[in-house]
Amino acid sequence: MLTRLHTRFVLAFVGLTGGLAVLAGIMGVWLIDRAAVGEANAALTLHLQAELSRFDTLRHEWLLLVETLGGGRRVARACADPGSPATIGELEAIRRQVGFDILLLTDRDGRVRTRTTPPYRTGDVLADEPVRAALQGETRAGIVVLGAGRLAMEGEELVGRAASGPGREALALIVAAPARDVEGQPAGTLVAGIVINGSPLLLQRLRSLTVAGEESPPAVVASVYLDDTEVLTTRPAPAAPAPSGPALLDAQVLSTVRGGGIWYGTKETPSGQHLVAVAALREIAGGSAASVSVGLPAARFVALRRSMVAWYGGIGLAGSLIAVLVSARLARRLARPINRLARAAGDVASGSFDVRLEEPRARDEVWVLTAAFNRMSEALRARDERLAAARQELESANASLKALNESYLNMLGFVSHELKNILGTMTWSVQALESGMMGALSAPQARLVHAIRAALDGGLAMTRNFLDLARIETGRLTLDLGPCDFARDVAGAVVQELAEEAVRSSMVLETDLPDSLPITGDSNLLRVVVRNLVGNALRYGRRGGRVRVACRPDGTGLRCEVWNEGEGLGPEQLAQLFGKFRRFGAGKPDAPRGSGLGLFIVREIVHRHGGTITAESEPGSWMKFVFWLPNHAPPAVAA
């Protein structure tokens, strides 16, 4: 069943459009994902930068404040009377006013002389980097890790805010500035700080973050981490304990952060799935790290992605429908003229050459094809008219040639028949002379009579061949089928008939015949076959050589071979051996005379008996003819 061209065009257009739509859909979803991820990362980066800038702002504020306090009169008085109740009270008032968790004085060796938090312990030496810088006369701020012992020294209240774990550590923002006495000389350091773990001050500042002038929505979660432990977060505490899950800061996140980069990803938190960005606050000695993170609810960006995909899908679907409609119309316009061409080509194939198509207005490939078809149809019509006229002429000439050939064959048959009778009478007369019936012949007379006899035999054989040719060509060669003994009535009879000729040719005629070889055939015509083959062997074989006739049963028939020693024939000559008027070696001076019809007649007789015949040869050595005959000639062939 043929597929309509219009359908094929539509399917091709739809397949192409569908493939492009799928590709565009994949690319579109990928781009939408990238856009959504980019939007989320941009928002996270803004919030993260705002959080980091809040820490920087707080640090700079406290640097100025602590540096000012370190050179003020109250600190100068405290340096003059360290550890006294008046000094502790005055410095503790400053601590409470500003919101410090830590405020203390050290001497010029870094030893604590005054603390403002119970139990007001002193005497320990501070080695924090900001303190070391302040002892050198430089005001410095930094984020440091306070162990459990240091927290106990700074105040009992701060121990409870330490992170859970074996180290009980806490993050602190420490600011240290040189402390000067009443004469303006360095007397030690003024150290202030805030413990980040659970700091109400920092929590308030983080919750009041603004990004691009817009107050941060409550859904934004900001957190501070010490290594992988959360020490401060703006996330509301859950009503019930959250199920345990993987830590936010795993090894991959910590590796990225400690390398100075920003990590972006998705994490499950007690309040749901969040898009998270994490960056380092500062690298801490001893392998610990302080980092900050911001998180935004993933649902916000999932909704954005779904909205963009929905819009994109709707536009893509509408475009696909439009493309299908346009492709169907284009397919119809393309298929219509091609279908007309197909129908017209079918008419031409059925023999109607008067077909002419209207050429389309658009001068495109279809117009070129239509114009070429019209020219072809016109050319075929003109050629058909010429062929019809030539066919009539050929039929007339063929009828004339057939009549002429029939007359020629009739004449050939008549002349051959009359010559056969005349030559037969002459041959009988020569045989009578040769046998001595008319008296003894002298030697010269005998030689002359022998030459006449040979010439008459050749002429009689040639006449028989022409007569058989006329009968074959006119269809009057019929088989007179009957039972016969091929070994006795055909092969044996011919060998006996030609024995004298073999003696005259100084050749040895050998036979290999069974006692009886019965078949059904025309014995007269079969003798013609054997006589031609043996006669050719005697005429063309080597003088003094051998000729062998062998017959034997072969399956459902018999196989007969006629072999002789002689020059033989090449492969090119063997291929032409059974044609009419084929005579090889006719140009040689000693070549025997003949009509070139014998083997043609032999093949026709064998084929009419339902048999086959072949020739084999080894040039310069021998020649062999092999024919096979069925035991019973087919009636259809015999007729």
Per-residue H/E/C for 93-150: HHHHHHCCCEEEEECCCCEEEEECCCCCCCCCECCCHHHHHHHCCCCEEEEEEECHHH
The Cα 91–Cα 75 span in angstroms is: 8
Pairing of strands 557-565, 622-630: antiparallel
Phi, psi at residue 140, to the nearest 5°? -140, 145
d(CA 157, CA 160) in angstroms, rounded, equals: 6
For 302, the token pair is 């999932």
Whether the model pTM is above 0.85: no
Q: What is the pLDDT of residues 62-87, one digit of tens each?
A: 899 999 988 889 989 988 888 899 88
What is the rounded CA–CA span in Å between residue 180 and residue 176? 13
Cα–Cα nearest to 380, from 409, 399, 341, 354: 354
Closest by CA to 540, choosing from 582, 492, 575, is: 582
Distance, CA of 335 to CA of 435 (rounded, Å): 95
Q: Are 549 and 514 within 8 A, CB to CB?
A: no
One-letter amino acid of 118 = P
DSSP bridge partners of 29:
none
| Least confident span in 52-61, 473-482, 577-586 | 577-586
* Structure-derived torsion over alpha carbons of residues 128, 133, 139, 144, reported in degrees to the nearest 10: -20
Nearest Cα residue to 274 out of 219, 224, 225, 321? 219
Q: Report pLDDT digits (tens) over 501-548.
A: 888 888 999 999 999 999 998 888 898 899 889 988 998 899 889 999
Please identify, in words, the CATH class of the domain defined by 478-638.
alpha beta
Q: Does residue 626 register a pLDDT over 90?
A: yes
Residue 518: exposure state from Cβ atoms within 10 A (0-12, 13-18, ≥19): middle
Write a three-state SS string for 174-242: EEEEEEECCCCCEEEEEEEEEECCCCHHHHHHHHCCEECCEECCCCCEEEEEECCEEEEECCCCCCCCC
Supply the pLDDT for residue 632: 84
**Higher model confidence: residue 23 or residue 496?**
496
In one-letter notation, the amino acid at residue 517 is: L
Give the E-state strand segments of 237-271 in sequence order.
263-269
CA distances from 511 to 484, 493, 501, 574 (A): 19, 12, 15, 25
For residues 335-347, average pLDDT: 76
pLDDT confidence of residue 476: 61
Residue of 289, 297, 263 whose CA lies nearest to 278: 263
Q: What is the pLDDT of residue 409?
A: 54
Q: Give the mean model confidence (pLDDT) for residues 205-213.
A: 59
For 546, phi and psi rounded to 5 degrees?
-115, 150
**Higher pLDDT among residues 363 and 187, named by residue:** 187
Q: Is the pLDDT of residue 625 over 90?
A: yes
Q: Are the C-beta atoms of 70 and 178 separated by less than 8 Å?
A: yes
Highest mean pLDDT among 26-35, 154-163, 580-589: 154-163
Between residues 283 and 198, the one the model is more confident about: 198
Helices (H) and strands (E) in the chain, counts: 16, 19
Beta strands in 409-517 (DSSP E): 482-485, 508-512
What per-residue confidence (pLDDT) applies to 398?
80
Residue 297 or residue 192, greater confidence: 192
Identify the bridge partners of residue 617 per DSSP, sorted by sequence position: 623
Q: What's the mean per-residue pLDDT of the chain?
A: 78
Looking at residue 273, its pLDDT comes to 76
Q: Cα–Cα distance between 211 and 222 in angstroms, integer?
A: 13
Q: How many residues in total does the chain contain?
A: 639
In the predicted structure, residue 211 carries a pLDDT above the cut 70: no
Predicted pLDDT of residue 2: 47
Cα separation of the two ends of the chain:
48
Instruction: Out of 13-17, 215-219, 469-473, 625-629, pick the least confident.
Output: 215-219
Locate the domains of the chain by residue range: 34-236+245-309, 381-476, 478-638
Nearest to 521 by CA among 420, 399, 610, 460: 610
Task: Please write the tens of the pLDDT for every residue from 408-460.
Answer: 556 555 555 566 567 667 777 777 776 777 777 777 877 776 677 666 666 66
Report pLDDT digits (tens) over 291-310. 888 777 777 677 767 777 77
Look at residue 393 and tell me whether its pLDDT is greater than 80: yes
Minimum mean pLDDT range among 157-166, 244-253, 294-303, 315-324? 244-253
Percent of the chain with pLDDT over 70: 79
Residue 50 near residue 286 (C-beta atoms within 8 A): no
Lowest-pLDDT choice from 181-185, 395-399, 441-445, 519-523: 441-445
- 627 has a pLDDT exceeding 90: yes
More confidently predicted of 580 and 128: 128
Q: What pLDDT score does 453 carry?
A: 67
Using alpha carbons, select from 193, 264, 263, 207 the residue that is nearest to residue 235: 207
Q: Identify the pLDDT of residue 214.
A: 45
Higher pLDDT, 311 or 284: 311
* Structural fold of domain 34-236+245-309: Beta-Lactamase (3.30.450)
Stretch 597-626: mean pLDDT = 89
* 3-state percent breakdown (helix, strand, coil) of the chain, nearest 5: 50, 20, 25
More confident residue, 639 or 192: 192
pLDDT at 246: 45
